[in-house]
Structure 1
């Protein structure tokens, strides 16, 4: 009897292993492994700093309006420098740009620690620090994201993007928790100091990378220099790095990126699908009202509502082993965004907290699936010399979309009710997805084995 059960147990174990995130990119690529670990540590530190800034502004002012201004001071630099950083990333050595951005972020965290240790208590300094911090992040983020296809083989890109999603959501969940513990025990200065030290991991990872100049369409450096500082590419996702001393010099501009996106229907559709999800299906501005009106809760309930999508997103990334087997990425993106919209619409109808949290977690899981496939499409279908600008536009979508969603959901709720706002928003997201599918049927047939932008 026991012997007969052993093979079945082995099969179940193999199936369980296959469901978990594929760690092949970390195992097989030392450069990517260092970058991923550095990014994970820094993401936790940055979220600790975000909590510390909000706590310090509240302690200094006692004003929710003043605390809310922290987000406003970061939004402008995120949009402006996101677009500019994408253009710069398509013109210079991305490794150096990543180093500069990470070093700048470390300096800002050190400044925040210094002002806390000195007890300056000047809110304007905190706002200025947040703005500079957002600028450095937006300037370097397109460069870091554009390097991923140069660090792993093409067939590992979906797995690498799933791992990046795990890193991001670990920061969003573990960072605030650790930040709260540290701040409660030692004050905001402790969170700032830990964040400053954490950037050492990212700086080390960037320092160890070879030079990474953008590649032109012919495989050479877009600016006419060496693409990789002489390092062998080893069959990376962009097909290798070659010398292109006679290559045409191009001025990488923001407008070039927007024009490229306009003329590439598959990539444009992936951006529009994400905007539909963020604008119509993200009722985060209503969470305080929902906590009271739906569940009779308070600030603790609001915290649970905010955390639930991140928990679902982390779970979706952890159990993403199946993603590498999917080739119809366009269909997967639209199906995931549709699942997001349906989950949000159902959330607006339930009045049991556990069920509402479960639906928000399901929405977060669907968002992770969509993000993995969208990032993979952008990294594979777009030429290397355009990836920085597309990543810059992506930052604008990520930063601006939720803010537009806050306005949309808040306006509808004020005209009717939170229930109407959440339900109609989720259904509008689904309708937008169906409209995109009808207007761009070729997107549904997009095959990662034969990528076309």
Structure 2
């Protein structure tokens, strides 16, 4: 049983590192709270406008700051203390959440305000996300980076399950004028746990040879990326998966038209994450995979096919099950994509490359929201669902066939047997004030 558990159960060894454990706990709480806002904003936007296209515009409001601050934030993460930068970005994120809370409490009912506060949160996310990811290899050894990524993604997806389900219950229990302030207020409260965990991190200064933040630093990151076809292809295949297949903007319309509204929207927003959590809990095998590029391509193809099939479902529970399977595939692709980047890239480049990753990973779904909303306005929500999923699977296969460098990639580090001792940080971290 012990051997079976080690092969299949999620690897918990990174939690033996206190700094990583604190960051993991705080991020879990803040992610759970953020999902309240992530569901409440599109629900409020659809209620105000009655159009999925406006819900899709939320993606554009988030994308523009991501393009600017994602790259700059990654450069900052390579040039200054990452703990300090994470604190600053977290405070800005918290202020954006308070903006949503105040407008809902005051009943201002303005779709433009929703776009503005979405942009504010996106600016903060564009800085904090690459910074937090770049910190992980400074806290755990290289052989535990896939396990640490899996833990982070799994708990993040667990928040995506529990948050929307909780908001669904709130929306079904209270009228919207009460439910929305409750959702935004809960997010603001839970986020304080994440801020506490960030303050408890040790100082994480930049590498000795780090470049100064600025345009030249960003250009250096792109030059490095241009010479790394494996990383370029991993970014490209994620853009295909998220931009063309992401169905998130269609959930409010699908819940309203097919499933009678109410708590159905919470189940739809949770469905993909349910599969990601189940995939993460049975992810012990991931650390043993050497053909990580091929596994990444296979997972993206599975994601697209399953999203396409979900568009045909007229039963809420059938759609939830199919989307959950898609979520399991998405978890696998995310873990391999991030693990390839964090192990492949040197520390002095990780912040900038994570900035590019943030633009790709977070920006792709925002473009996907616009794609989904726009095609739904032309063809209907069901067709927008299915066409996007199948098209993404086909393009992923074509990319892998035309540019085989990604499918040929093997992890550089051989499988390391579990070490019963607590993991030690691979690099010294300053203990100064």
Name 1:448's counterpart in structure 2. 411
CA drift at 1:137: 1.8
Q: Find out whether 1:19 has 2:24 as its counterpart.
A: no
Which residue of the other structure, out of 151, 156, 174, is the alignment partner of 2:139?
151
Show CA shifts across 1:140-190 (max 9, x none).
Answer: 221111111111111111111111112221222222333455675665444
The match for 1:253 among 217, 225, 234 is: 217
CA contact under 8 A between 1:90 and 1:252: conserved in structure 2? no
Choose the corresponding residue for 1:121, options 108, 116, 119.
Answer: 108
2:165 equivalent in structure 1: 177
Shift of 1:284: 4.2
- 1:23-422 equivalent positions in 2, closer than 5 A: 23-26=12-15, 28-53=16-41, 61=48, 64=51, 70-113=58-101, 119=106, 121=108, 123=110, 126-179=114-167, 181=169, 187-215=179-207, 220-223=208-211, 253-285=217-249, 296-299=258-261, 303-348=266-311, 354-406=317-369, 408=371, 422=385
Task: Give the secondary-structure state (helix, strand or coil) at the position aligned to 1:298.
Answer: coil
Deviations 1:283-337 (A, max 9, x none): 44555676689xx533355554443222111211122111111122111101111
The 8 Å contact of residues 85 and 392 in structure 1, kept in 2 or not, is answered as yes
Rounded to whole Å, the distance in 1 between the matches of 2:169 and 2:265 is 19
Structure 2 vs 1, CA of residues 93 and 251 (structure 1 numbering), >3 Å: closer, same or farther?
Answer: farther
**Scaled by the length of structure 1, what TM-score is found?**
0.77
Q: Distance in 1 between matches of 2:201 and 2:64?
A: 31
Work out the CA distance in 2 between the residues paired with 1:58 and 1:131: 18
Contact 2:33 2:163 in 1 (8 A): yes
Instruction: Work out whether residues 214 and 223 of structure 1, in 8 Å CA contact, stay in contact via their aligned partners in 2.
Output: no
Equivalent-residue separation in structure 2 for 1:211 and 1:191 (angstroms): 33
Q: 1:20 offset after TM fit, Å?
A: 2.1
List runs of 5+ in structure 1 lacking aligned partners: 1-10, 225-248
Distance 1:66 1:420 in 2: 19
**SS of corresponding position for 1:327:** coil
Q: C-alpha deviations, 1:196-224, integer Å up to 9, x for none?
A: 33233222222222322333xxxx34159
C-alpha distance in 2, partners of 1:412/1:110?
A: 33
Q: 1:411 to 1:449 in 2, by over 3 A?
A: same
Query: How many residues are treated as equivalent by the alignment?
Result: 407
Shift of 1:264: 0.6
Higher relative contact order (CA 8 A, sep 6+): 2
What is the CA–CA distance in structure 2 between the aligned matches of 1:411 and 1:115, rounded to whole Å?
Answer: 27
Give the CA deviation at 1:36.
Answer: 0.6
Out of 351-360 and 257-266, give the one that drifted further.
351-360
Point out the structure with max Rg over C-alpha.
Answer: 1
Quick check: 1:222–1:250 contact (8 Å CA) kept in 2? no
Contact 2:13 2:144 in 1 (8 A): yes
